[in-house]
Amino acid sequence: MARHRARVAVAAAVGIALALACVPLGVIPKLACAALDAGCPVTGEPGGRLPQAVRLTPVQVAQSGAYVALGDSYSSGEGVYDLDRQPVNDGADRCHRASGSYVPLVSGAFHFGGGTAFYACSGATTAQLLSGQHGQQPQISRVGPSASLVTLSIGGNDAGFTKVLTGCIVKLPWSSACVEQDAAVERRIQQLRPSMLKVLRELRTRAPDARVIVLGYPRPFPEPPTDGVDNLSVADQRWLNAVTRRLNDTVASVVADFDRAIAAFGAPGSMEYVDAYEAFAGHEVGRPQPYLNGLEVDVEDLTVNARSFHPTADGYRRFAELITQQIAAGPGRPMNNFHLSAS
């Protein structure tokens, strides 16, 4: 400190003396540089640059943290659960989480910096996704700020699709009881809008930087339908296909509206919908190689097996293809997630 003060005093004295001697101003900085190592001109590149904001690609956003898989039976792996020998994690037996679901396939296709958490649960409604099932922690609670990708299928149980299918199958062959459920189903689908929005808001609050990918449901029967499938007439099958389309369109519109709001504010993250309606085309129930299980009855106790009308192993592999393609493609707009680059 004393030496610094001395150099400052000398510099001040030299400056005053030179000024009094009428030395030209341009000479003073050169003398100061040579004598005091002060005021020397900067040469070459600046020593430090400000960090630059670099926009992340959709894949970079997805991989930057944890992958959290939520949803109902179409995500849990219900259609292959009976064939599973390895429990996935705690509560898998109650929720019928199977390693044959699309989730492990998606997890293996990318490197997620925060790992994978798989908590989809068979039978889940939008309300149960928020409140929990079978005494288990709510699925939504598994999502936190570290989540960079969330996938889910949800809404089919809100629409009562299992009950609807059962009503269609157990009716008398000539009965119109199947399609007579239309008004009740339409009412439940309309009620799905606010509850779906509530789920998306909660996901957004918990993981504001994440990409959320919502998977739709496949058309269950061929177009045009074949006659005599599990006591379902051609009219029944057409109606069930139409109900699936209406359900998908409702979920898709809520997701799209939410993502438009995110983009309008230039905010990070996204809400993305994957339309799976035509995903099983050529492999619907009634086809030679279906991607959906048909009606399966347990003969001993005369009950319908839960895997009925759920994806087969091929069906879950097809779902994995759709989701991995969506991860690579992104939401169809630039992501507003950035990281700071040092150079």
Q: What CATH number is associated with residue 336?
A: 3.40.50.1110
> Model confidence over 240-296: pLDDT tens digits?
999 999 999 999 999 999 999 999 999 999 999 999 999 999 999 999 999 999 988
Instruction: Identify the band that residue 49 occupies on the pLDDT scale cut at 50, 70 and 90.
Output: confident
For residue 82, what are the contacts with CB-CB under 8 A and spacing of at least 6?
305, 307
Same domain, 6 and 145: no
| Across 296-325, average pLDDT | 86
Cis geometry, peptide bond prior to residue 138 (ω within 30 degrees of 0): no
Residue 19: predicted pLDDT: 47
What phi, psi does 235 have (nearest 5°)? -65, -40
Pair 60, 24 in one domain: no
Domain assignment present for 32: yes
Number of structural domains (the chain) is 2
Residue 41 inside a domain? The answer is: no
In this structure, the answer to whether residues 151 and 25 fall within a common structural domain is no
Catalytically active residues are 73, 310
Position 41 pLDDT exceeds 50: yes
Q: How far is CA 239 from CA 166, 178, 257, in A?
A: 14, 8, 27
| Residue 46 lies inside a defined structural domain of this protein | no
Of 116-120, 227-231, 301-305, 338-342, the least confident: 301-305
Residue 193 lies in a domain: yes
179 and 74 within one domain: yes
Q: Which of these ranges, 47-56, 97-106, 312-321, has the smallest mean pLDDT?
A: 47-56
What's the pLDDT at 113? 96
Q: Do 69 and 21 share a structural domain?
A: no
Average pLDDT, integer, range 108-115: 96
pLDDT above 90 covers a percentage of the chain that reads 66
Question: Do 130 and 19 belong to one domain?
Answer: no
The tokens describing 55, both together, are 């926009």
Reply yes or no on whether the pLDDT at 86 is more than 90.
no
Instruction: Say if residue 159's pLDDT is above 90.
Output: yes
Q: How far apart are CA 10 and CA 273, in angstroms?
A: 73
User: Can you tell me which residue has the tokens 């699925």?
Assistant: 139
In a domain, 130, yes or no: yes
pLDDT of residue 16: 45
28 and 68 inside one domain:
no
Percent of the chain with pLDDT over 70: 82
Examine the pLDDT at 93 and tell me if it is beyond 60: yes
What is the C-alpha separation between 280 and 319, in angstroms, rounded?
9
- Mean pLDDT is lowest, of 156-165, 280-289, 301-310, for 301-310
**Nearest residue to 75 (alpha-carbon basis) of 20, 117, 131, 21:** 117
Same domain, yes or no: 29 and 165: no
In which domain, by residue range, is 184 found?
A: 52-341
pLDDT over 80 at 21, yes or no:
no
Cα–Cα distance, 303 to 31 (Å, whole number): 99
What is the per-residue pLDDT for 8? 46
What are the tens digits of pLDDT across the range 166-221?
A: 888 877 777 788 999 999 999 999 999 999 999 999 999 999 999 999 999 999 99
The answer to whether residues 57 and 334 touch, using CB atoms and an 8 Å cutoff, is: no
For residue 53, pLDDT over 70 is answered with yes
